[in-house]
A and B are shown apart, each in its own frame.
Chain A
Amino acid sequence: MLGAVKSGESYSALRVLVVEDNENMSRLLREVLRALGVGEVYSAASGPEALRVLSRVVPDVLLTDLALGKMSGIELTRRIRRGEDSINPYVPIIMVTGHADQRRIAEARDAGIHEFVAKPVSPVSLARYLSEVVERPRPFVSMSSYFGPDRRRRVVNRRSSDRRERSGKIISPDEIAAYVERLREKIAEGPVERAKVPPGSEAIAFRAKAKEGTA
């Protein structure tokens, strides 16, 4: 799905996972997403629950609160991006929070989020950030110090001196879309958990290579 939505198209085929521990906020986000035309909306009330959902659903976007109790939205992002048990490290993550200070924004970006949305949330702001991640998918950067979306928003001519090229790996939106498609096929056969994935399977191998920058 990701990468297939072009500017101006509706979101009826889109799947979004909302991770929010406050029921009122969760309900508002879910209903606004449905009103915007998002086809499938899933929810989780905590980080661990979100990880469980991710073993049986492959969302196109994950929307998470920052303050989520024991496992914060930033910790959840780290687990998704770099955790050994993460099966979909490329899912675009939009962080929604009332803690919009520079320190937390920097921490969230370093963890690998795509967008940071300050509460209060409006339909227009939600739609804008959703459009940004869905219609303009960014490549991923895999380096020893960072794994997440390329933080450069402009398309630049990469030179051989590009630090990312030299010390890491750029994973293109097409490669990510292919990985997600394979993951969807696998999940259609049943929930994918680390223990249930055969060692050396295509998904895990690709994931490991991506982490090492050799995919």
Chain B
Amino acid sequence: MKKNLFRVETILVMAVLLMLLLIGLVNPAALNQNTLFNMLRSFITVGIFGMGVLVVLVSGGMDVSFTYIAPVAAYLAVRILVAADYSGSVIVPFLLAALFGAAMGAANGLLIARYDFPSMIVTLGTGAAFQGLTVFFVGATHITALPGGMLDMSRTNLATVQFADGSQGGINITIVITVAVIILVWFLLNKTIWGRGLYALGGSKTSAYRVGFPVGRLQFSLYTLVGCLAGITGVIYMSLNRQATPHLMVGTELDVIAAVVLGGASVFGGRGTVMGAVLGIALVTILNNSLILIGIPTQWQKAAIGVVILTGTALPIVLGKLKRCLK
């Protein structure tokens, strides 16, 4: 029991509940389905991004290129489909974007695995390079006439609720993809030798190599997977916002990383759970969407997030020290 009390997940669950309670107390009217739907809507994309970040962090790496890969891959897919006058199923843009994303992720993986460069520096370079290359050669025309399937998807809700004032709200169908990705990453990390390998790699690269894990292949495959996930996120984001440019989402990478780290993943690798990451992302999403509801003006939101990140990351360390002192 005592052991569980100090776990990051427990603290996060309490923080999330406390946050919801606070909103309920301060502004009961705000705690309705619409707020919840808004939170879920922003969770859809950040959730998938977060899973990618978690995989990278567990392996001891750092990826800052995923917010570049996502819009670029999705934008390329949209441009191709618009040029081909395509209006069929939504599967095709997803496949195309996943393919482009995977290719860009593979480039990251190749540089990191083959040359053993620091992953943060590599992804810093490739992110800028991919975006620059795309904008220059393909252009950055703002597209609002998305291929048919994507527009349909943005209108399809899993559950629709009619509110008292006549407006409608609902959970977009794409949340299914997020849930599927979360389950997939959970399965990969916990139930496969690949996932074990990632934890080993993150704990100590040399040891993982000596034990016999194919370190290079692991790194290559993991960055390819993360690129692929980023491509899918890009399509979802563009479809939800009904517009496409290669600049969307760029600049949010540190926020996503912060949320995952808040969930207990170590920036030095080897530690991190899917549950923790999901809770960390949930907490940041709730904060982002609800500070205004409990009376904190929007202009102070970023500062509040900063305080949460600092306390969230410092707390386990301080608690650990406290525990040692008590002993």
Tell whether A pairs with B.
no
